[in-house]
Amino acid sequence: MPNDIINRTFPLVKPGTIVRVHQEILETNSKGEEKKRIQIFEGTVILRKHGKGDKATITVRKVSDGVGVEKIFPLQMPALKDIEVVKSLRVKRAKLNYLRGKHKKVKDAIVHETHAKAEEAKSEEQPQA
């Protein structure tokens, strides 16, 4: 199994990061034909296990139609195609199990890149003297 390690890099995802995970799904229709498609799962990373090693996993949670859905993604899974970071949130815990309950307060983090882009846009809108 160690020889089958896939060498790839994903963005740093920590608990509190909202991500879009692109996973390749193989479907079979009634005629027996196989079709590959990309399924996107968007949610909040509630925990990360096993660090940056070969067995590293992330657990992503979203609420769909009032029902909480969680998926565990091994980062070395061949079907995992991409992880997009949508937003970073500031959290004070390593494992966000409290998001499973009723208390779901998470403050927005100040992302330096986004903040810098917003300041650039403001400076472009102001007339220069």
Domains and CATH numbers, the chain: 2-125 (2.30.30.790)
Looking at the chain, the whole-number percentage of residues with pLDDT higher than 70 is 73
Provide the token pair at 24: 């390749």
Range of weakest confidence among 10-14, 55-59, 108-112? 108-112
φ/ψ of 26, rounded to 5, equals -105, 115
pLDDT band of residue 95 (cuts 50, 70, 90) is confident
Contact, 83 vs 20, CB < 8 A? yes
Pairwise CA distance, residues 90 & 72, whole Å: 22
Higher pLDDT, 118 or 99: 99
Whether residue 6 has pLDDT greater than 50: yes
What pLDDT does residue 65 have?
87
Question: pLDDT digits over 41-62, tens only?
Answer: 999 999 999 988 888 999 999 9
What pLDDT does residue 125 have?
64
Beta-strand (E) ranges in the chain?
17-28, 34-49, 57-64, 67-74, 80-90, 107-108
Give the residue among 70, 125, 76 at the shortest CA–CA distance from 95.
70
**Residue 70, CB-side half-sphere exposure with 13 Å CA sphere:** 12
What pLDDT does residue 71 have?
95
Pairwise CA distance, residues 39 & 53, whole Å: 25
